[in-house]
């Protein structure tokens, strides 16, 4: 009897892929995160009332803001990288550099945003 | 030099569950991981099983996870990985015994992309070779190097998800023929690889490219295939 | 030896299918979203957001140029923000983003759900879901 | 009976020769190809340099020259009818590969590109000629892949990872084979009208070798056990350029592109040994030259290796010295970039295994056990022959490295093996299918797997004191030293005694693994048994041949002796003893003469 082929989440995450594997995971988290957020947001605006207020209180939570801003920003920047290299496959040979650039763009923006959010949270 | 070698063990004839076995070995840093496995098999436990043949990275038998990454045991030296070495079977294929996995789904996927030269037109009048310029030959050189070791496919998260994804190795084979100026079945292959199980399932994770012991630019090849399915340009 | 001739297969022969159309749609919609968001942000800045809104508010508007996203700001006159033009831009963004996002979820499901039947169900659910979201979204955009 | 399969033709081995045979046999008969490795893992994939055919795409060349070079390369031991046949078929054979899609490198005109290789010359000028068709330094890989792909296209039946253990002979005819399915450990009987052996060589009996772990001489040993003879087993080729200690091959193509051998004193030494073609002399000559240098103390740092220099500036320097030119007559030059394109894998091997860059550093090399010239005697149609009159054994065929046609005689020229696979693989396949059409199935013995099972049981039931790994290591060492490049009576006698001793110890090996699934320990032990069998025959035949010829060089009989030894050796195993007989060499056009390069 052979062992099943199933790859557990733990062993999948233990695989030592490099930069691009990490960005792929984060991109996926970001995409799903946004999809869920957008859905809830639209529904909340639609329903209004108590549910709407409850939903809004979630958005205003600073932890949630840090998370959703991560989703949006990372997904957008990484999505742009993917789009560019997909439309011009020749650029794929520069993927290492592309990942560096991506982080170089993402980190400062995200860092400032987190700082602002936390400051607002502490201040408010 | 002293190394510890941790090996994934599973013998279906006696074990219910898999486990790790650790061996302390005294070896040279220029030895291959394959040499260590041979040493363990020879002197510590003869039942340790793994595939190997050529011992220099050209037959594709011994792809496995070494310190968490797919590599060929015969093309990885101790000095490349350090003195703590963990060896595990490939992910996403059934483990039959120890480091041996069931390769059938891998080869089945390979066979799906019509991985053979197709040209039913008459041969050149002189009966000689079909002409091909060095440039045309170079176009698909990279993907002719594949030794079907499965290091790429089993490093791909999409394949881990489900083995109906053709996987990078099969796509590499498709690339090798689609971009061969002499081949005439590019359209059939493009149709096959644009199914749900095909190129659309590649999320440019690059694990394949980084695992490939033949240094094939797999992600790039898949990228070219994606564009070819859309534009129909195959040169 | 003659120079390499360029080779292109006609559409009918290679049978371009839904999967790859959606693949390219995902990329193009990504670019479109960038364009729309940028457009909305520039619009906001022209409409005077520089002095009356903070960065977060501008971004919020950018990601969805919808009236509700400016209501809590210091903009004195919200009329220019709720013209049919901006409602149309918002609708476009909504359409593109929902299609992109829902298809993205389908792609993720495809990675784990393999049986043709399962995939059919996923597609069915997502189409229903997408239509519902678009309908609700449009209602919100045009009535608020 | 469980696990009995019926096929008209069964091919054992899925390397270049087995696949070619399978492809052709399956066109006329129901065929199965059985292999202990996945077909694409076969050692044909390791072949680097090229496959020869006298196309003359770059300069004048003709099949007659190819024939003569091969005869001369074989040190006149090759059968000239077969050699002529092969060299004439070469052009069509290589074209057929091209038509199957094999991606050869190309000339600017779009034709197949060719390069120089040792021993291949223009017979009029004596200069090296570009005859080796190649795809970078991966020619064998491309051949193996292409043939496997064509087999898939033609829906050939494969039994992958089935190891053949025994050959069934009934009423003096082939009746099938017995194989173990590695994944389950079950024995299967393949009932067949015709059986083709294409199991490759047995270089793993030597310590330093370019050969795969799978090269354990299974085919040869199985036939030997069944009472059939082997031919010319004393002739084993040592390739001059293997990576020091590891034995990994550095193709002759490196020298074909202009690389030269350098000894510990920094001198190029090949001109001393082969004044015409120098570094491109045939392999036995070059290997002996390297060993002579080493023995006379001119190895690098007093060690037993020398350098292969492929740095572009050296290549250009020595090419100018030799007056080497491009086809258009201009002086020969090469850049690092071009070299990298032509020899990418060689560069890679050096980087991975030695950590050096052959564009700026010299490669440490040493001769490495490489190719089995001898083997299962066949005629040029791949039919196994069993005596000095070339009587064919009905239904039994062999092709590729395990066979001895003999086109390679006492020494094989580089690139001729791949050619051998394609040409004789094809004919063996055709013949077998033809035979199967008119032949009947032989009735299987009552218990066809008995013999194979007995061998396994024997291994499992010994006293369990001995270690397979140790015996095998000792064998490799002794064989490499005493039955290697240089041989003498004393060394070989000692080796034979040791082999007998190991065989005794082998009866008591320890098999820890009691399982059925992928019991690689048991199979490795079984393979060691084959290697011991083959090593024994090699040593006996080598001791018996009292002359030096091609790959067989004796210190105590340094001259070639055409009067007494211009004949093939045949060796049988009878009651555990090696019996030796002879077979005449077929000589048609070329009378033996002294061999100078
Ligand atoms: C490193 C290297 C480089 C070379 N370069 C060149 C070159 O440039 N030019 C050239 O002409 N020649 C070259 N050669 C020689 C040539 O490649 C080989 O002689 C040739 O490939 C042998 O092919 P084959 O078909 O006989 O055997 P292989 O390709 O080795 O196939 C043997 C097959 O038999 C199967 N098998 C073995 N035993 C069993 C069993 N018991 N049961 C079932 N199956 C079994 C194996 O699985 C395998 O499929 C080179 C050889 C080496 C080692
Ligand atoms: C500027 C904005 C955006 C860009 C540039 C962008 C880009 C991309 C790209 C290129 C992909 C394909 C990834 C792949 O195939 O591997 C993708 C996937 C996805 N996107 Fe977006 N996207 C954007 C906005 C959104 C929004 C607003 C949502 C949610 C509603 C979303 C949800 C998703 C989802 C769920 C996926 C699938 C993730 C996966 O396959 O791993 N995206 N995005
Ligand atoms: S593409 Fe590379 S990693 Fe994948 S099977 Fe081929 S050689 Fe192995
Ligand atoms: S790892 Fe997988 S997702 Fe694509 S880039 Fe490689 S096939
Ligand atoms: S043993 Fe052949 S690739 Fe490692």
For D395-447, the pLDDT digits (tens) are 999 999 999 999 999 999 999 999 999 999 999 999 999 999 999 999 999 99
Subunits close to B (at least 3 CB pairs below 8 A): A, C, D
Separate counts of helices (H) and strands (E) for chain C? 7, 0
- Dist. CA C32–CA D386, nearest whole Å: 77
CATH for D239-369 is 3.90.700.10
Give the model's pLDDT for residue D237. Answer: 96
Q: How confident is the model at residue C4 (pLDDT cuts 50, 70, 90)?
A: very low
Dist CA D279 CA D248 (whole Å): 19
In this predicted structure, the answer to whether residue D588 has a pLDDT above a threshold of 90 is yes
SS3 B186: helix
CA-based nearest distance A46→chain C, Å: 6
CA distance D492 to D503: 16
The string of pLDDT tens digits covering residues B180-225 is 999 999 999 999 999 888 999 999 999 999 999 999 999 999 999 9
Domain extents in chain D: 4-235+373-438, 239-369
- Counting from 1 in the atom list of ligand 1, the atom nearest the Cα of B56 is 1
In terms of pLDDT, which residue wins out, C2 or A72?
A: A72
Q: What SS3 string covers D370-394?
A: EEECCEEEECCCCEEECCCCCCEEE
The three-state (H, E, C) secondary structure of D277-340, written as one string: CHHHCCHHHHHHHHHHHHHHHHCHHHCCCEEEECCHHHHHHHHHHHCCECCCCCECCCCHHHHH
Q: Please determine, for residue D465, whether its predicted confidence score (pLDDT) is greater than 50.
A: yes
d(CA D115, ligand 1 centre) in Å: 22
Please report the pLDDT score of residue C58 as a whole number.
79
Between strands B2-9 and D114-121, the pairing is unpaired
Is the CB of residue D565 less than 8 Å from the CB of residue D546?
yes
Terminal Cα distance for chain D, rounded: 60
Alpha helices (runs of H) in D119-247, residue ranges in sequence order = 139-153, 218-225
Within 8 A of A85 by CB-CB distance, chain B residues are: 204, 223
List pLDDT tens digits, range D326-367: 888 899 999 999 999 889 999 999 999 999 999 999 999 999
D468/B46 Cβ within 8 A: yes
HSE-CB at B76 with a 13 A cutoff on CA atoms is: 25
Instruction: Measure in Å the smallest separation between the Cα of B44 and chain A Cα atoms.
Output: 24
Q: How far is C12 from chain D (nearest CA, A)?
A: 25
What whole-number percentage of chain C has pLDDT above 90? 27
Q: What percent of chain C stands above pLDDT 70? A: 94
**CA D369 to chain centroid:** 10
Decide if D520 and B50 are in contact by the 8 Å CB cutoff.
Answer: yes
pLDDT in tens, D95-149: 999 999 999 999 999 999 999 998 999 999 988 999 999 999 999 999 999 999 9
Pairwise CA distance, residues D267 & D264, whole Å? 7
- Residue D137 sits at φ, ψ, to 5 deg, of -110, 40
Residue D597 has pLDDT above 70, yes or no: yes
Q: Which of A35, A76, A83 sits opposite C105 (nearest CB)?
A: A35
Cα(D44)–Cα(D48) distance, rounded to whole angstroms? Answer: 9
pLDDT-based confidence at residue C65 (cuts at 50, 70, 90): confident
For residue C24, give how far its alpha carbon lies from the nearest alpha carbon of chain A (Å): 9
Ligand 2 atom at minimum distance from A28 CA: 41
Pairing of strands D577-584, D567-574: antiparallel
What SS3 state is found at D83? helix
Among the bound ligands, name the one nearest to the CA of residue D405: 1
Residues ≥6 apart with Cβ < 8 Å to B41? B48, D469, D520, D521, D524
Burial classification of residue D229, based on how many CB atoms lie within 10 Å of its CB (0-12 exposed, 13-18 middle, 19 or more buried): buried
| CA B214 to ligand 3 center in whole angstroms | 7
Cα Rg of chain B (Å, integer): 20
- D155: which 2 tokens? 């829906």
pLDDT at C55 over 90: no
Q: How far is the CA of A83 from the centre of ligand 3 (A)?
A: 25
pLDDT band at C6 (very low <50, low <70, confident <90, very high): low
| C86 — pLDDT class (breaks 50, 70, 90) | confident
Q: Quote the ligand 5 centre to B82 CA distance (angstroms).
A: 21
What's the CATH number for D4-235+373-438?
3.50.50.60
Which whole number is the average pLDDT over D302-329?
Answer: 92
Judged against a pLDDT cut of 70, whether residue D208 lies above it is answered with: yes
User: Among all residues of chain B, which has the CA nearest to that of C26?
Assistant: B200
Is the distance from CB of B203 to CB of A15 less than 8 angstroms?
no
D43 CA distance to ligand 4 middle (Å): 29
Q: Quick one: what percent of chain D has pLDDT higher than 90? A: 92
Q: How many CB atoms lie within 10 A of CB D253?
A: 25
Pairing, β D114-121 against β D51-52: unpaired
| Strands D4-12 and D577-584, sheet pairing | unpaired
H or E element that contains D9: strand D4-12
Q: Is the pLDDT of residue A57 over 90?
A: no
pLDDT in tens, B170-185: 999 999 999 999 999 9
| C-alpha–C-alpha distance, residues B37 and B43, integer Å | 10
Length of chain A: 124
Which residue out of D115, D131, D268, D283 is catalytically annotated? D283
Residue C116 has pLDDT above 50, yes or no: yes
Q: Which CATH number fits domain A18-121: 1.20.1300, 1.10.287, 3.30.460, 1.10.600?
A: 1.20.1300
Q: Is the CB of D36 under 6 A from ligand 1?
A: yes
B41: enclosing H helix or E strand: helix B33-43
For residue A46, give the nearest of C73, C134, C33, C60 by alpha carbon.
C134
Q: Are B59 and D516 an interchain contact pair (Cβ–Cβ within 8 Å)?
A: no
The average pLDDT across B7-16 equals 92
Range in B93-97, B230-234, C13-17 with the lowest mean pLDDT: C13-17
User: Which pLDDT score, from 0 to 100, does residue D429 have?
Assistant: 97
For D32-60, the pLDDT digits (tens) are 999 999 999 999 999 998 999 999 999 99
- The Cα B83–Cα C47 span in angstroms is 64
Where do we find the tokens 């199991």?
A: D199
Residues of A in contact with B69 (CB under 8 A): 15-17
Q: How confident is the model over D480-492, as a mean pLDDT?
A: 95
Query: At D429, which helix (H) or strand (E)?
Result: helix D416-438
Closest CA to B106 of B95, B92, B117: B92
- Read off the pLDDT of residues A86-99 as tens digits, 9 standing for 90 and up: 888 777 778 888 88
Average pLDDT over residues B97-109: 96
Domains of chain B, CATH where assigned: 2-101 (3.10.20.30), 104-231 (1.10.1060.10)
Cα–Cα distance for residue pair D515/B188, rounded to 1 Å: 45
Are the Cβ atoms of B235 and C5 closer than 8 angstroms? yes
Closest by Cα among D395, D402, D420, D439 to D169: D395
pLDDT confidence tier of residue A42, bands split at 50, 70 and 90: confident
Chain C positions in Cβ-Cβ contact with residue D112 (cut-off 8 Å): none
Chains that touch C (3 or more CB pairs under 8 A): A, B, D
Residue C55 forms beta bridges with which residues?
none
DSSP code per residue over B88-142: EPPTTS-EEETTEE--HHHHHHHHHT--S----SPPPTTSSPPP--HHHHHHTHH
Report the pLDDT value the prediction gives residue A49, as an integer from 0 to 100: 74
Q: What is the mean pLDDT of residues D535-549?
A: 97
Three-state secondary-structure class, residue D357 = coil
- Ligand 4 site: residues with CB under 6 angstroms? B 155-156, 158, 168, 202-208, 218-219, 222
Read off φ and ψ for residue D457, nearest 5 degrees.
-60, -40
Inter-chain touch A46–C140, beta carbons under 8 Å: yes
Task: Assess contact for B186 and B105: CB atoms under 8 A.
Answer: no
Find, among D137, D151, D136, the residue nearest to D39 by Cα: D151
Task: Say what the pLDDT of residue A123 is.
Answer: 74
Q: Whole-structure pTM over 0.90, yes or no?
A: yes
ipTM of predicted complex:
0.92
**Of C94, B219, C99, B192, the residue nearest A82 (C-alpha):** B219
CA-closest residue to ligand 1 atom 41? D164
CA distance B171 to D370: 35
Among residues D88, D31, D29, which one has the least CA distance to residue D64? D88
How many Å lie between the centroid of ligand 4 and the Cα of residue B156? 5
Evaluate whether A23 touches A100 at the Cβ level (below 8 Å): no
pLDDT of residue D495: 97
Query: Does the distance separating the beta carbons of B155 and A24 come in below 8 Å?
Result: no
Residues in B closer than 8 angstroms to D212, CB to CB, are 53-55, 59
The pLDDT tens digits of the residues spanning B48-58 come to 999 999 999 99
Mean pLDDT for chain C overall: 83
Q: How far is CA A88 from the centre of its chain?
A: 24
- Our mutation pick for probing the ligand 4 site, out of B169, B203, B216, B224, counting the most ligand atoms within 8 A of Cβ, is B203
Task: For residue B199, give the DSSP letter.
Answer: G
- Is C104 at the interface with chain B, CB within 8 A? no
Q: Whose CA is nearest to atom 4 of ligand 4?
A: B202
Element spanning D262, H or E: strand D260-262
Interface of B with C (CB under 8 A): 131, 133, 135-136, 157-158, 161-162, 164-165, 181, 186-187, 190-191, 194-196, 198-201, 226, 229-235
What is the phi/psi pair of residue D126, to 5°?
80, 0
Give the residue from chain D lying closest to C1, CA to CA. Answer: D109
Q: Is the dihedral of CA B120, B121, B122, B128 positive or negative?
A: negative
pLDDT, mean over chain D:
95
pLDDT for D223 equals 97
The Cα B202–Cα B229 span in angstroms is 14
Q: What is the pLDDT of residue C2?
A: 40
Annotated active-site residue D412? The verdict is: no
Q: How many CA atoms lie within 13 A of B235 on its CB side?
A: 13
d(CA B190, CA C16): 8
């Amino acid at each position: 009897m052979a062992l099943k082929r199933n790859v557990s989440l733990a062993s999948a995450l233990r695989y030592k892929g490099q930069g691009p594997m990490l960005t792929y995971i984060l991109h996926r988290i970001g995409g799903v995160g946004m999809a869920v957020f957008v859905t809830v947001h639209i529904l909340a605006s639609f329903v209004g009332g108590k549910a709407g207020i409850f939903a809004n209180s979630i958005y205003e939570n600073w932890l949630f803001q840090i998370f959703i801003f991560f989703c949006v920003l990372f997904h957008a920047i990484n999505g742009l990288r993917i789009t560019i290299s997909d439309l011009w496959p020749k650029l794929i040979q520069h993927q290492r550099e592309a990942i560096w650039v991506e982080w170089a763009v993402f980190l400062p923006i995200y860092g400032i945003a987190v700082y602002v959010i936390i400051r607002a949270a502490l201040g408010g | 030099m002293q190394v510890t070698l941790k090996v994934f063990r599973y013998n279906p004839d006696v074990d219910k569950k898999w486990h790790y076995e650790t061996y302390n070995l005294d070896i040279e840093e220029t030895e291959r991981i394959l040499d260590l496995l041979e040493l363990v098999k020879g002197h510590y436990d003869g039942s340790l099983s793994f595939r190997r043949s050529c011992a220099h990275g050209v037959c594709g038998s011994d792809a496995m996870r070494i310190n968490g990454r797919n590599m060929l045991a015969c093309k990885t030296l101790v000095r490349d990985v350090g003195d703590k070495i963990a060896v595990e079977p490939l992910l996403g294929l059934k483990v039959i015994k120890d480091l041996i996995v069931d390769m059938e789904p891998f080869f089945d996927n390979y066979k799906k992309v019509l991985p053979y030269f197709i040209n039913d037109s008459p041969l050149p009048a002189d009966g000689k070779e079909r002409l091909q310029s060095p440039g045309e030959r170079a176009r698909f050189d990279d993907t002719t190097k594949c030794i079907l070791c499965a290091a790429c496919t089993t490093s791909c998260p999409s394949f881990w998800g489900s083995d109906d994804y053709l996987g990078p190795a099969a796509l590499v084979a498709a690339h090798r023929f689609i971009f061969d100026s002499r081949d005439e079945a590019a359209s059939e292959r493009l149709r096959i690889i644009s199914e749900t199980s095909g190129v659309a399932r590649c999320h440019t994770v690059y694990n394949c490219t980084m695992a490939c012991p033949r240094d094939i630019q797999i992600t790039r090849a898949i990228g070219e295939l994606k564009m070819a399915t859309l534009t129909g340009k195959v040169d | 030896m003659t120079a390499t001739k360029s080779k292109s297969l006609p559409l009918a022969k290679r049978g371009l299918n839904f999967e790859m159309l959606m693949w390219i749609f995902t990329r193009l919609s990504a670019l479109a979203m960038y364009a729309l968001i940028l457009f909305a942000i520039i619009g906001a800045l022209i409409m005077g957001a520089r002095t009356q809104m903070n960065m977060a508010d501008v971004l919020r508007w950018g990601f969805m140029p919808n009236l509700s996203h400016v209501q809590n700001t210091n903009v004195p006159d919200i009329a220019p923000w709720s013209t049919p033009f901006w409602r149309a831009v918002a609708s476009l963004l909504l359409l593109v983003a929902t299609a992109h996002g829902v298809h993205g979820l389908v792609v993720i499901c495809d990675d784990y759900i393999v049986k043709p039947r399962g995939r059919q169900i996923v597609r069915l659910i997502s189409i229903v879901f997408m239509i519902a979201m678009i309908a609700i979204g449009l209602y919100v955009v045009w009535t608020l | 009976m469980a696990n009995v399969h019926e096929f008209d033709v069964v091919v054992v081995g899925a390397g270049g020769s087995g696949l070619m045979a399978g492809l052709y046999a399956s066109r006329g008969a129901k065929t199965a190809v059985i292999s202990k490795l996945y077909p694409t893992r076969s050692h044909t994939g390791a072949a680097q340099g090229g496959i020869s055919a006298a196309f003359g795409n770059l300069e004048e060349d003709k099949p007659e020259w190819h024939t003569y070079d091969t005869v001369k390369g074989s040190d006149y031991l090759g059968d000239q009818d077969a050699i002529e046949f092969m060299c004439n078929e070469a052009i069509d054979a290589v074209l057929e590969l091209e038509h199957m899609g094999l991606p050869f490198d190309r000339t600017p005109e779009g034709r197949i590109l060719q390069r120089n290789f040792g021993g291949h010359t223009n017979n009029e000028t004596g200069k090296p000629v570009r005859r080796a068709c190649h795809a970078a330094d991966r020619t064998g890989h491309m051949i193996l892949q292409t043939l496997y792909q064509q087999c898939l296209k033609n829906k050939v039946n494969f039994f992958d990872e089935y190891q053949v253990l025994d050959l069934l002979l009934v009423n003096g005819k082939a009746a099938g084979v017995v194989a173990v399915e590695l994944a389950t450990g079950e024995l299967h009987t393949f009932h067949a009208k015709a059986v083709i052996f294409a199991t490759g060589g047995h270089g793993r009996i030597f310590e330093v070798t370019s050969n795969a772990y799978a090269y354990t001489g299974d085919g040869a040993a199985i036939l030997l056990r069944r009472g059939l003879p082997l031919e010319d087993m004393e002739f084993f080729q040592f390739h001059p350029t293997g990576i020091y200690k590891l034995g990994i091959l550095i193709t002759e193509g490196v020298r074909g592109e202009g690389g030269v051998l350098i000894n510990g004193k920094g001198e190029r030494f090949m001109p001393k040994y082969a004044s015409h073609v120098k570094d491109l002399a045939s392999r036995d000559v070059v290997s002996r030259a390297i060993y002579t240098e080493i023995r006379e103390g001119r190895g690098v740092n007093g060690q037993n290796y020398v350098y292969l220099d492929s740095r572009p500036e050296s290549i250009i320097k020595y090419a100018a010295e030799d007056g080497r030119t491009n086809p258009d007559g201009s002086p020969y030059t090469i850049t690092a970039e071009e070299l990298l394109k032509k020899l990418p894998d060689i560069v890679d091997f050096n980087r991975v295994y030695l950590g050096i860059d052959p564009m700026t550093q010299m490669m440490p090399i040493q001769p490495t056990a490489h190719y089995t010239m001898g083997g299962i005697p066949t005629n040029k149609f791949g039919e196994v022959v069993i005596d000095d009159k070339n009587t064919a054994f009905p239904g039994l065929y062999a092709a590729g490295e395990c066979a001895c046609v003999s086109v390679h005689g006492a020494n094989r020229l580089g690139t001729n093996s791949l050619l051998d696979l394609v040409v004789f693989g094809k004919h063996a396949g055709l013949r077998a299918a033809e035979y199967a059409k008119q032949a009947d199935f032989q009735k299987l013995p009552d218990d066809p797997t008995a013999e194979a099972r007995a061998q396994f049981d024997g291994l499992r039931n010994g006293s369990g004191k001995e270690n397979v790994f140790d015996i095998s290591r000792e064998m490799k060492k002794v064989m490499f030293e005493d039955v290697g490049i240089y041989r003498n009576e004393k060394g070989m006698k000692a080796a034979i005694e040791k082999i007998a001793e190991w065989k005794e110890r082998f009866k008591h090996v320890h098999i820890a693994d009691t399982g059925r699934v992928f019991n690689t320990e048991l199979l490795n032990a079984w393979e060691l048994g084959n290697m011991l069998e083959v090593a024994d025959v090699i040593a006996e035949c080598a001791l018996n041949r009292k002359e030096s010829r091609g790959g067989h060089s004796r210190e105590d009989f340094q001259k070639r002796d055409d009067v007494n030894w211009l004949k093939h050796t045949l060796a049988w195993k009878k009651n555990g003893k090696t019996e030796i007989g002879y077979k005449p060499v077929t000589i048609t056009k070329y009378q033996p003469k002294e061999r100078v390069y």
